[in-house]
Structure 1
Amino acid sequence: MEFQKKLYRKKIKELPEDLLPREKALKYGIESLSDIELLALLLGKGTKKLNVLGLADRILEGKGLSALKDADMKKLLGIEGVGSAKALQILAIREIIRRVEEETEHLQMNSPEDVYSHLRWLSKEKQEKMVVLYTNTMNQILGEEVVAVGSLNILNIKPRDIFVHALRYNAYGIIMAHNHPEGTHQPSKEDIDFTRLIKESAEKLGFELLDHLIIGRKGYTSLHREGIV
Protein backbone atom coordinates (compact mmCIF):
# COMPACT_ATOMS: atom_id res chain seq x y z
CA MET A 1 0.00 0.00 0.00
CA GLU A 2 2.82 2.41 0.90
CA PHE A 3 4.55 1.51 -2.36
CA GLN A 4 1.38 2.37 -4.27
CA LYS A 5 1.09 5.73 -2.52
CA LYS A 6 4.65 6.61 -3.53
CA LEU A 7 3.99 5.39 -7.05
CA TYR A 8 0.87 7.53 -7.39
CA ARG A 9 2.71 10.68 -6.25
CA LYS A 10 5.37 10.37 -8.95
CA LYS A 11 5.01 12.22 -12.23
CA ILE A 12 3.73 9.86 -14.88
CA LYS A 13 6.85 10.37 -17.02
CA GLU A 14 9.00 9.20 -14.09
CA LEU A 15 7.36 5.76 -14.02
CA PRO A 16 8.83 2.69 -15.76
CA GLU A 17 7.40 2.13 -19.24
CA ASP A 18 5.64 -1.10 -18.23
CA LEU A 19 3.59 0.88 -15.67
CA LEU A 20 2.38 3.45 -18.20
CA PRO A 21 -1.13 2.48 -19.41
CA ARG A 22 -0.69 3.67 -22.99
CA GLU A 23 2.71 2.05 -23.49
CA LYS A 24 1.61 -1.14 -21.76
CA ALA A 25 -1.50 -1.39 -23.95
CA LEU A 26 0.52 -0.86 -27.13
CA LYS A 27 3.08 -3.47 -26.09
CA TYR A 28 0.88 -6.18 -24.59
CA GLY A 29 -2.66 -5.36 -25.80
CA ILE A 30 -5.54 -3.51 -24.19
CA GLU A 31 -6.59 -6.71 -22.39
CA SER A 32 -3.41 -6.55 -20.30
CA LEU A 33 -4.55 -3.39 -18.46
CA SER A 34 -6.02 -3.51 -14.97
CA ASP A 35 -9.23 -1.64 -14.14
CA ILE A 36 -7.19 1.25 -12.73
CA GLU A 37 -5.03 1.40 -15.84
CA LEU A 38 -8.05 1.33 -18.16
CA LEU A 39 -9.67 4.24 -16.34
CA ALA A 40 -6.35 6.11 -16.24
CA LEU A 41 -5.98 5.69 -20.00
CA LEU A 42 -9.39 7.29 -20.50
CA LEU A 43 -8.84 10.12 -18.00
CA GLY A 44 -5.54 11.11 -19.57
CA LYS A 45 -4.26 13.41 -16.79
CA GLY A 46 -4.02 13.39 -13.02
CA THR A 47 -3.72 16.24 -10.53
CA LYS A 48 -0.87 18.16 -8.93
CA LYS A 49 -0.84 15.72 -6.02
CA LEU A 50 -1.65 12.48 -7.82
CA ASN A 51 -0.72 11.13 -11.22
CA VAL A 52 -3.47 9.73 -13.40
CA LEU A 53 -3.07 6.21 -11.94
CA GLY A 54 -3.55 7.58 -8.45
CA LEU A 55 -6.61 9.55 -9.51
CA ALA A 56 -8.13 6.46 -11.15
CA ASP A 57 -7.47 4.43 -7.98
CA ARG A 58 -9.16 7.11 -5.85
CA ILE A 59 -12.22 7.14 -8.11
CA LEU A 60 -12.59 3.34 -8.09
CA GLU A 61 -12.16 3.13 -4.31
CA GLY A 62 -10.56 -0.31 -4.58
CA LYS A 63 -13.76 -1.80 -6.05
CA GLY A 64 -12.76 -2.05 -9.68
CA LEU A 65 -14.85 -0.73 -12.56
CA SER A 66 -18.02 -1.90 -10.79
CA ALA A 67 -17.66 1.23 -8.63
CA LEU A 68 -18.66 3.33 -11.64
CA LYS A 69 -22.19 1.88 -11.53
CA ASP A 70 -22.90 3.98 -8.44
CA ALA A 71 -21.21 7.12 -9.72
CA ASP A 72 -23.16 10.34 -10.13
CA MET A 73 -22.15 13.94 -10.78
CA LYS A 74 -22.39 15.06 -7.14
CA LYS A 75 -20.30 12.15 -5.86
CA LEU A 76 -17.65 12.56 -8.55
CA LEU A 77 -17.30 16.31 -8.04
CA GLY A 78 -16.65 15.58 -4.36
CA ILE A 79 -13.44 13.76 -5.32
CA GLU A 80 -10.38 16.03 -5.22
CA GLY A 81 -9.03 16.45 -8.72
CA VAL A 82 -12.29 15.64 -10.53
CA GLY A 83 -13.92 18.58 -12.27
CA SER A 84 -17.01 18.64 -14.44
CA ALA A 85 -15.11 17.54 -17.58
CA LYS A 86 -13.62 14.44 -15.94
CA ALA A 87 -16.90 13.70 -14.18
CA LEU A 88 -18.70 13.67 -17.54
CA GLN A 89 -16.04 11.37 -18.98
CA ILE A 90 -16.61 8.93 -16.13
CA LEU A 91 -20.38 9.14 -16.41
CA ALA A 92 -20.10 8.45 -20.14
CA ILE A 93 -18.11 5.29 -19.32
CA ARG A 94 -20.78 4.28 -16.79
CA GLU A 95 -23.53 4.78 -19.36
CA ILE A 96 -21.64 2.73 -21.96
CA ILE A 97 -21.26 -0.11 -19.43
CA ARG A 98 -24.99 0.10 -18.61
CA ARG A 99 -26.06 -0.04 -22.24
CA VAL A 100 -23.73 -2.93 -23.07
CA GLU A 101 -25.00 -4.88 -20.07
CA GLU A 102 -28.58 -4.14 -21.09
CA GLU A 103 -27.93 -5.55 -24.56
CA THR A 104 -26.03 -8.53 -23.18
CA GLU A 105 -28.91 -9.48 -20.88
CA HIS A 106 -31.05 -10.31 -23.90
CA LEU A 107 -28.45 -12.31 -25.81
CA GLN A 108 -29.17 -16.02 -25.80
CA MET A 109 -26.71 -18.62 -26.99
CA ASN A 110 -29.02 -21.42 -28.14
CA SER A 111 -26.74 -22.90 -30.80
CA PRO A 112 -23.14 -22.89 -32.05
CA GLU A 113 -24.33 -20.50 -34.79
CA ASP A 114 -25.41 -18.00 -32.12
CA VAL A 115 -22.00 -18.21 -30.45
CA TYR A 116 -20.14 -17.88 -33.74
CA SER A 117 -22.25 -14.88 -34.75
CA HIS A 118 -21.50 -13.20 -31.42
CA LEU A 119 -17.76 -13.96 -31.51
CA ARG A 120 -17.10 -13.80 -35.24
CA TRP A 121 -14.67 -10.94 -34.61
CA LEU A 122 -12.21 -13.59 -33.39
CA SER A 123 -11.78 -14.78 -36.98
CA LYS A 124 -10.00 -11.52 -37.82
CA GLU A 125 -7.68 -11.48 -34.80
CA LYS A 126 -3.97 -11.87 -35.48
CA GLN A 127 -3.27 -13.09 -31.95
CA GLU A 128 -4.72 -16.23 -30.45
CA LYS A 129 -7.38 -15.40 -27.87
CA MET A 130 -9.55 -17.45 -25.57
CA VAL A 131 -12.97 -15.92 -24.86
CA VAL A 132 -15.40 -17.43 -22.39
CA LEU A 133 -19.14 -16.72 -22.21
CA TYR A 134 -20.95 -17.32 -18.92
CA THR A 135 -24.67 -18.07 -19.10
CA ASN A 136 -27.68 -18.70 -16.91
CA THR A 137 -30.05 -21.67 -17.22
CA MET A 138 -31.84 -19.89 -20.09
CA ASN A 139 -28.58 -19.59 -22.07
CA GLN A 140 -28.57 -15.82 -21.60
CA ILE A 141 -25.11 -14.26 -21.33
CA LEU A 142 -24.26 -13.10 -17.83
CA GLY A 143 -20.71 -12.10 -18.69
CA GLU A 144 -17.94 -12.35 -21.24
CA GLU A 145 -14.22 -12.55 -20.49
CA VAL A 146 -11.01 -12.75 -22.50
CA VAL A 147 -9.07 -15.22 -20.33
CA ALA A 148 -5.91 -15.54 -22.45
CA VAL A 149 -4.15 -13.62 -25.20
CA GLY A 150 -1.09 -14.28 -27.33
CA SER A 151 0.71 -17.12 -29.04
CA LEU A 152 -0.30 -19.60 -26.42
CA ASN A 153 -0.31 -23.30 -25.91
CA ILE A 154 -3.88 -23.82 -24.83
CA LEU A 155 -2.74 -26.23 -22.13
CA ASN A 156 -1.00 -23.31 -20.39
CA ILE A 157 -4.39 -21.80 -19.55
CA LYS A 158 -5.24 -22.78 -16.01
CA PRO A 159 -8.81 -23.97 -15.29
CA ARG A 160 -8.99 -21.40 -12.49
CA ASP A 161 -8.65 -18.63 -15.10
CA ILE A 162 -12.03 -19.78 -16.40
CA PHE A 163 -13.83 -20.80 -13.22
CA VAL A 164 -13.00 -17.71 -11.17
CA HIS A 165 -15.31 -15.72 -13.45
CA ALA A 166 -17.98 -18.45 -13.42
CA LEU A 167 -18.14 -18.06 -9.65
CA ARG A 168 -18.22 -14.27 -9.90
CA TYR A 169 -21.14 -14.31 -12.35
CA ASN A 170 -22.87 -17.14 -10.48
CA ALA A 171 -23.11 -18.82 -13.88
CA TYR A 172 -24.71 -22.09 -14.86
CA GLY A 173 -23.17 -22.62 -18.29
CA ILE A 174 -19.73 -22.02 -19.76
CA ILE A 175 -19.01 -21.57 -23.46
CA MET A 176 -15.40 -21.35 -24.57
CA ALA A 177 -14.15 -20.07 -27.91
CA HIS A 178 -10.69 -19.46 -29.25
CA ASN A 179 -9.26 -18.63 -32.63
CA HIS A 180 -6.54 -20.14 -34.77
CA PRO A 181 -4.88 -17.12 -36.40
CA GLU A 182 -3.23 -19.35 -39.03
CA GLY A 183 -6.72 -19.94 -40.45
CA THR A 184 -7.75 -23.52 -39.77
CA HIS A 185 -10.68 -24.26 -37.49
CA GLN A 186 -9.81 -27.91 -36.98
CA PRO A 187 -9.24 -28.72 -33.30
CA SER A 188 -5.78 -29.87 -32.29
CA LYS A 189 -5.14 -32.70 -29.85
CA GLU A 190 -4.34 -30.05 -27.24
CA ASP A 191 -7.68 -28.33 -27.91
CA ILE A 192 -9.53 -31.60 -27.34
CA ASP A 193 -7.55 -32.56 -24.24
CA PHE A 194 -8.05 -29.13 -22.72
CA THR A 195 -11.78 -29.22 -23.46
CA ARG A 196 -12.13 -32.57 -21.72
CA LEU A 197 -10.20 -31.26 -18.72
CA ILE A 198 -12.49 -28.23 -18.41
CA LYS A 199 -15.60 -30.40 -18.87
CA GLU A 200 -14.54 -32.70 -16.03
CA SER A 201 -13.58 -29.79 -13.78
CA ALA A 202 -16.85 -27.97 -14.53
CA GLU A 203 -18.92 -30.99 -13.53
CA LYS A 204 -17.07 -31.27 -10.23
CA LEU A 205 -17.66 -27.58 -9.48
CA GLY A 206 -21.33 -27.59 -10.45
CA PHE A 207 -21.07 -25.87 -13.83
CA GLU A 208 -21.83 -27.16 -17.30
CA LEU A 209 -19.49 -26.74 -20.24
CA LEU A 210 -21.94 -26.14 -23.09
CA ASP A 211 -19.52 -25.86 -25.99
CA HIS A 212 -16.03 -24.96 -27.17
CA LEU A 213 -15.75 -23.29 -30.56
CA ILE A 214 -12.55 -23.30 -32.59
CA ILE A 215 -12.74 -20.30 -34.90
CA GLY A 216 -10.71 -19.99 -38.08
CA ARG A 217 -10.69 -17.36 -40.78
CA LYS A 218 -13.56 -18.90 -42.75
CA GLY A 219 -15.54 -20.96 -40.32
CA TYR A 220 -15.64 -22.76 -37.00
CA THR A 221 -15.86 -26.16 -35.37
CA SER A 222 -18.18 -26.84 -32.45
CA LEU A 223 -16.75 -29.46 -30.11
CA HIS A 224 -20.29 -30.00 -28.84
CA ARG A 225 -21.38 -31.12 -32.30
CA GLU A 226 -18.23 -33.22 -32.55
CA GLY A 227 -19.37 -35.10 -29.45
CA ILE A 228 -16.42 -33.95 -27.31
CA VAL A 229 -18.53 -31.71 -25.06
Structure 2
Amino acid sequence: MEFKKQIYKKKIKELPEEVLPREKALKYGIQSLSDGELLAVLIGQGTKELNVIGLADRILKDKRLSDLKKITLDDLLKIKGIGKAKALQILAVSEILRRVEDEQDKLVFNSPEDVYSYLKWLSKEKKENMVVLYTNTMNQLLGEETVAVGSLNLLSVKPRDIFVPALKYNAYGIIIVHNHPEGTAQPSQEDINFTQHMKELSLKIGFELLDHIIIGKKDYFSFSRNGLV
Protein backbone atom coordinates (compact mmCIF):
# COMPACT_ATOMS: atom_id res chain seq x y z
CA MET A 1 0.00 0.00 0.00
CA GLU A 2 2.88 2.34 0.87
CA PHE A 3 4.44 1.59 -2.52
CA LYS A 4 1.18 2.52 -4.22
CA LYS A 5 1.03 5.82 -2.35
CA GLN A 6 4.53 6.64 -3.56
CA ILE A 7 3.53 5.84 -7.14
CA TYR A 8 0.38 7.96 -6.88
CA LYS A 9 2.31 11.05 -5.78
CA LYS A 10 4.87 10.92 -8.58
CA LYS A 11 4.40 12.82 -11.81
CA ILE A 12 3.35 10.62 -14.71
CA LYS A 13 6.54 11.38 -16.63
CA GLU A 14 8.57 10.09 -13.66
CA LEU A 15 6.91 6.65 -13.69
CA PRO A 16 8.19 3.62 -15.62
CA GLU A 17 6.24 2.77 -18.77
CA GLU A 18 5.00 -0.57 -17.42
CA VAL A 19 2.74 1.18 -14.89
CA LEU A 20 1.36 3.80 -17.27
CA PRO A 21 -2.18 2.90 -18.41
CA ARG A 22 -1.91 4.38 -21.91
CA GLU A 23 1.39 2.75 -22.67
CA LYS A 24 0.18 -0.55 -21.25
CA ALA A 25 -2.96 -0.40 -23.41
CA LEU A 26 -0.95 0.34 -26.55
CA LYS A 27 1.44 -2.52 -25.85
CA TYR A 28 -0.91 -5.22 -24.57
CA GLY A 29 -4.37 -4.05 -25.65
CA ILE A 30 -7.08 -2.09 -23.85
CA GLN A 31 -8.48 -5.33 -22.38
CA SER A 32 -5.29 -5.71 -20.31
CA LEU A 33 -6.15 -2.69 -18.15
CA SER A 34 -7.67 -2.91 -14.69
CA ASP A 35 -10.79 -0.94 -13.78
CA GLY A 36 -8.65 1.78 -12.23
CA GLU A 37 -6.37 1.98 -15.26
CA LEU A 38 -9.36 2.27 -17.62
CA LEU A 39 -10.74 5.11 -15.53
CA ALA A 40 -7.32 6.79 -15.51
CA VAL A 41 -7.22 6.73 -19.32
CA LEU A 42 -10.67 8.29 -19.37
CA ILE A 43 -10.10 11.19 -16.95
CA GLY A 44 -6.67 11.93 -18.40
CA GLN A 45 -5.18 14.13 -15.69
CA GLY A 46 -4.69 14.03 -11.96
CA THR A 47 -4.26 16.80 -9.37
CA LYS A 48 -1.28 18.54 -7.78
CA GLU A 49 -1.11 15.96 -5.02
CA LEU A 50 -2.20 12.85 -6.94
CA ASN A 51 -1.42 11.71 -10.46
CA VAL A 52 -4.22 10.35 -12.64
CA ILE A 53 -3.59 6.75 -11.49
CA GLY A 54 -3.98 7.75 -7.87
CA LEU A 55 -7.05 9.85 -8.58
CA ALA A 56 -8.71 6.95 -10.40
CA ASP A 57 -7.94 4.69 -7.45
CA ARG A 58 -9.48 7.24 -5.08
CA ILE A 59 -12.68 7.38 -7.17
CA LEU A 60 -12.94 3.58 -7.25
CA LYS A 61 -12.19 3.08 -3.55
CA ASP A 62 -14.12 -0.05 -2.49
CA LYS A 63 -15.89 -0.03 -5.88
CA ARG A 64 -15.78 -1.77 -9.24
CA LEU A 65 -16.13 0.07 -12.52
CA SER A 66 -19.67 -1.29 -12.88
CA ASP A 67 -20.61 0.44 -9.60
CA LEU A 68 -20.20 3.81 -11.30
CA LYS A 69 -23.64 3.43 -12.88
CA LYS A 70 -25.08 4.27 -9.45
CA ILE A 71 -22.83 7.23 -8.66
CA THR A 72 -24.22 10.77 -8.58
CA LEU A 73 -22.80 14.22 -9.27
CA ASP A 74 -22.87 15.03 -5.54
CA ASP A 75 -20.99 11.81 -4.74
CA LEU A 76 -18.24 12.74 -7.18
CA LEU A 77 -17.91 16.37 -6.11
CA LYS A 78 -17.25 15.18 -2.54
CA ILE A 79 -14.08 13.43 -3.75
CA LYS A 80 -11.03 15.66 -3.35
CA GLY A 81 -9.60 16.49 -6.76
CA ILE A 82 -12.86 16.01 -8.68
CA GLY A 83 -14.39 19.14 -10.17
CA LYS A 84 -17.43 19.47 -12.38
CA ALA A 85 -15.57 18.69 -15.61
CA LYS A 86 -14.11 15.39 -14.36
CA ALA A 87 -17.38 14.54 -12.65
CA LEU A 88 -19.22 14.87 -15.95
CA GLN A 89 -16.66 12.64 -17.69
CA ILE A 90 -17.29 9.95 -15.09
CA LEU A 91 -21.06 10.43 -15.22
CA ALA A 92 -20.86 9.90 -18.98
CA VAL A 93 -19.33 6.47 -18.29
CA SER A 94 -22.05 5.86 -15.70
CA GLU A 95 -24.74 6.64 -18.28
CA ILE A 96 -23.07 4.45 -20.93
CA LEU A 97 -23.00 1.54 -18.48
CA ARG A 98 -26.66 2.10 -17.61
CA ARG A 99 -27.74 2.28 -21.25
CA VAL A 100 -25.78 -0.84 -22.20
CA GLU A 101 -27.45 -2.67 -19.32
CA ASP A 102 -30.86 -1.41 -20.46
CA GLU A 103 -30.08 -2.57 -24.01
CA GLN A 104 -29.29 -6.06 -22.75
CA ASP A 105 -32.57 -6.15 -20.83
CA LYS A 106 -34.73 -5.15 -23.81
CA LEU A 107 -37.57 -7.42 -24.81
CA VAL A 108 -37.05 -9.24 -28.09
CA PHE A 109 -39.93 -10.22 -30.38
CA ASN A 110 -38.80 -13.12 -32.54
CA SER A 111 -42.26 -14.51 -33.25
CA PRO A 112 -45.97 -13.65 -33.08
CA GLU A 113 -46.10 -15.78 -29.91
CA ASP A 114 -43.67 -13.36 -28.23
CA VAL A 115 -45.93 -10.43 -29.04
CA TYR A 116 -49.05 -12.30 -27.93
CA SER A 117 -47.41 -13.24 -24.64
CA TYR A 118 -46.40 -9.62 -24.03
CA LEU A 119 -49.83 -8.14 -24.82
CA LYS A 120 -52.07 -11.03 -23.76
CA TRP A 121 -53.76 -8.69 -21.27
CA LEU A 122 -55.65 -7.24 -24.27
CA SER A 123 -57.69 -10.44 -24.41
CA LYS A 124 -59.43 -9.36 -21.18
CA GLU A 125 -60.19 -5.80 -22.28
CA LYS A 126 -63.84 -4.92 -22.85
CA LYS A 127 -62.94 -2.02 -25.12
CA GLU A 128 -60.98 -2.15 -28.34
CA ASN A 129 -57.36 -1.01 -28.01
CA MET A 130 -54.67 -0.49 -30.59
CA VAL A 131 -51.11 -0.77 -29.30
CA VAL A 132 -48.10 -0.24 -31.54
CA LEU A 133 -44.68 -1.73 -30.72
CA TYR A 134 -41.51 -0.17 -32.12
CA THR A 135 -38.37 -2.28 -32.58
CA ASN A 136 -34.80 -2.00 -33.80
CA THR A 137 -33.15 -4.20 -36.44
CA MET A 138 -32.64 -6.93 -33.81
CA ASN A 139 -36.37 -7.01 -32.95
CA GLN A 140 -35.69 -5.45 -29.56
CA LEU A 141 -38.46 -3.31 -28.11
CA LEU A 142 -37.63 0.40 -28.22
CA GLY A 143 -41.02 1.69 -27.14
CA GLU A 144 -44.76 1.23 -27.31
CA GLU A 145 -47.74 3.51 -27.78
CA THR A 146 -51.46 3.04 -27.29
CA VAL A 147 -52.82 4.92 -30.31
CA ALA A 148 -56.54 4.22 -29.93
CA VAL A 149 -58.97 3.10 -27.23
CA GLY A 150 -62.72 2.58 -27.46
CA SER A 151 -64.95 1.73 -30.36
CA LEU A 152 -62.19 1.25 -32.90
CA ASN A 153 -62.88 2.37 -36.44
CA LEU A 154 -59.65 1.48 -38.21
CA LEU A 155 -60.33 3.98 -40.94
CA SER A 156 -60.25 6.75 -38.33
CA VAL A 157 -56.77 5.80 -37.04
CA LYS A 158 -54.48 8.47 -38.40
CA PRO A 159 -51.15 7.28 -39.89
CA ARG A 160 -49.32 10.03 -38.01
CA ASP A 161 -50.42 8.43 -34.71
CA ILE A 162 -48.44 5.35 -35.73
CA PHE A 163 -45.49 6.85 -37.59
CA VAL A 164 -44.60 9.92 -35.49
CA PRO A 165 -43.61 7.74 -32.49
CA ALA A 166 -41.56 5.58 -34.89
CA LEU A 167 -39.46 8.65 -35.62
CA LYS A 168 -39.23 9.46 -31.91
CA TYR A 169 -37.89 5.99 -31.10
CA ASN A 170 -35.70 5.90 -34.23
CA ALA A 171 -37.39 2.57 -34.94
CA TYR A 172 -36.81 0.10 -37.74
CA GLY A 173 -39.81 -2.17 -37.25
CA ILE A 174 -43.45 -1.57 -36.40
CA ILE A 175 -45.84 -4.15 -34.95
CA ILE A 176 -49.51 -3.16 -34.77
CA VAL A 177 -51.66 -5.01 -32.23
CA HIS A 178 -55.36 -4.62 -31.55
CA ASN A 179 -58.01 -6.69 -29.82
CA HIS A 180 -61.46 -7.95 -30.71
CA PRO A 181 -63.44 -7.84 -27.45
CA GLU A 182 -66.28 -9.85 -28.97
CA GLY A 183 -64.02 -12.92 -28.95
CA THR A 184 -62.92 -13.94 -32.43
CA ALA A 185 -59.43 -13.06 -33.63
CA GLN A 186 -60.24 -13.55 -37.30
CA PRO A 187 -59.62 -10.37 -39.33
CA SER A 188 -62.43 -8.48 -40.99
CA GLN A 189 -62.09 -7.02 -44.46
CA GLU A 190 -61.56 -3.67 -42.76
CA ASP A 191 -58.63 -5.16 -40.81
CA ILE A 192 -57.11 -6.50 -44.03
CA ASN A 193 -57.53 -3.20 -45.91
CA PHE A 194 -56.08 -1.23 -43.00
CA THR A 195 -53.06 -3.51 -42.76
CA GLN A 196 -52.34 -3.27 -46.47
CA HIS A 197 -52.57 0.53 -46.30
CA MET A 198 -50.16 0.68 -43.33
CA LYS A 199 -47.77 -1.68 -45.13
CA GLU A 200 -47.68 0.58 -48.18
CA LEU A 201 -47.17 3.72 -46.09
CA SER A 202 -44.42 2.06 -44.03
CA LEU A 203 -42.43 1.21 -47.15
CA LYS A 204 -42.80 4.75 -48.49
CA ILE A 205 -41.69 6.37 -45.25
CA GLY A 206 -38.84 3.94 -44.57
CA PHE A 207 -40.14 1.63 -41.85
CA GLU A 208 -40.90 -2.08 -41.89
CA LEU A 209 -44.36 -3.24 -40.85
CA LEU A 210 -43.36 -6.52 -39.24
CA ASP A 211 -46.80 -7.71 -38.26
CA HIS A 212 -50.36 -6.83 -37.37
CA ILE A 213 -51.71 -9.07 -34.65
CA ILE A 214 -55.34 -9.34 -33.61
CA ILE A 215 -55.96 -10.68 -30.11
CA GLY A 216 -59.25 -12.38 -29.33
CA LYS A 217 -60.48 -13.79 -26.02
CA LYS A 218 -58.72 -17.14 -26.44
CA ASP A 219 -56.45 -16.85 -29.46
CA TYR A 220 -54.75 -14.46 -31.85
CA PHE A 221 -54.27 -13.91 -35.56
CA SER A 222 -50.91 -12.91 -37.10
CA PHE A 223 -50.96 -11.21 -40.50
CA SER A 224 -47.29 -12.03 -41.10
CA ARG A 225 -47.76 -15.72 -40.33
CA ASN A 226 -50.66 -15.85 -42.75
CA GLY A 227 -48.75 -14.07 -45.53
CA LEU A 228 -50.78 -10.87 -45.37
CA VAL A 229 -47.92 -8.41 -44.74
SS class of match (1:170): coil
State the Cα deviation string for residues 134-172 of structure 1 (Å, max 9, x = none): 000000000011000001211110111100000000000
Counterpart position of 2:147: 147
For residues 170 and 105 of structure 1, do their structure 2 counterparts lie closer, same or farther at Cα, with a shift above 3 Å needed?
Answer: farther
Counterpart position of 1:218: 218
For residues 103 and 129 of structure 1, do their structure 2 counterparts lie closer, same or farther at Cα, with a shift above 3 Å needed?
Answer: farther
Counterpart position of 1:116: 116
SS class of match (2:193): helix
| Whole-angstrom distance in 2 between the partners of 1:187 and 1:201 | 20
**Equivalent position amino acid for 1:129 in 2:** N
RMSD: 2.2
| Whole-angstrom distance in 2 between the partners of 1:105 and 1:186 | 33
SS class of match (1:143): strand
**Equivalent position amino acid for 1:148 in 2:** A
> How many pairs are equivalent?
134
Quote the offset at 1:105 in angstroms.
4.6
| Whole-angstrom distance in 2 between the partners of 1:188 and 1:156 | 16
Summarize the alignment of residues 161-200 of structure 1 with structure 2, pairs less than 5 Å apart: 161-200=161-200
Quote the offset at 1:228 in angstroms.
0.8
SS class of match (2:177): strand
Q: Which runs of 5+ in 1 are unaligned?
A: 1-71, 75-97
**Equivalent position amino acid for 2:199 in 1:** K
Quote the offset at 1:132 in angstroms.
0.3
State the Cα deviation string for residues 180-229 of structure 1 (Å, max 9, x = none): 00011000101110000000000001100000001000000000011111
Quote the offset at 1:102 in angstroms.
4.0
For residues 104 and 135 of structure 1, do their structure 2 counterparts lie closer, same or farther at Cα, with a shift above 3 Å needed?
Answer: farther
Counterpart position of 1:201: 201
Tell which structure's C-alpha radius of gyration is larger: 2
**Equivalent position amino acid for 1:152 in 2:** L
For residues 105 and 209 of structure 1, do their structure 2 counterparts lie closer, same or farther at Cα, with a shift above 3 Å needed?
Answer: farther
SS class of match (2:218): coil
Quote the offset at 1:110 in angstroms.
0.4
* Partners of 1:105 and 1:141 within 8 A in 2: no
SS class of match (2:191): helix
| Whole-angstrom distance in 2 between the partners of 1:190 and 1:164 | 23
For residues 126 and 102 of structure 1, do their structure 2 counterparts lie closer, same or farther at Cα, with a shift above 3 Å needed?
Answer: farther
Quote the offset at 1:176 in angstroms.
0.5
| Whole-angstrom distance in 2 between the partners of 1:151 and 1:107 | 29
**Equivalent position amino acid for 1:158 in 2:** K
State the Cα deviation string for residues 4-56 of structure 1 (Å, max 9, x = none): xxxxxxxxxxxxxxxxxxxxxxxxxxxxxxxxxxxxxxxxxxxxxxxxxxxxx
Counterpart position of 1:132: 132
| Whole-angstrom distance in 1 between the partners of 2:186 and 2:144 | 24
Quote the offset at 1:109 in angstroms.
0.4
Identical-pair percentage: 70
Summarize the alignment of residues 37-186 of structure 1 with structure 2, pairs less than 5 Å apart: 102=102, 105-186=105-186
| Whole-angstrom distance in 2 between the partners of 1:156 and 1:103 | 35
**Equivalent position amino acid for 2:157 in 1:** I
| Whole-angstrom distance in 2 between the partners of 1:207 and 1:123 | 28
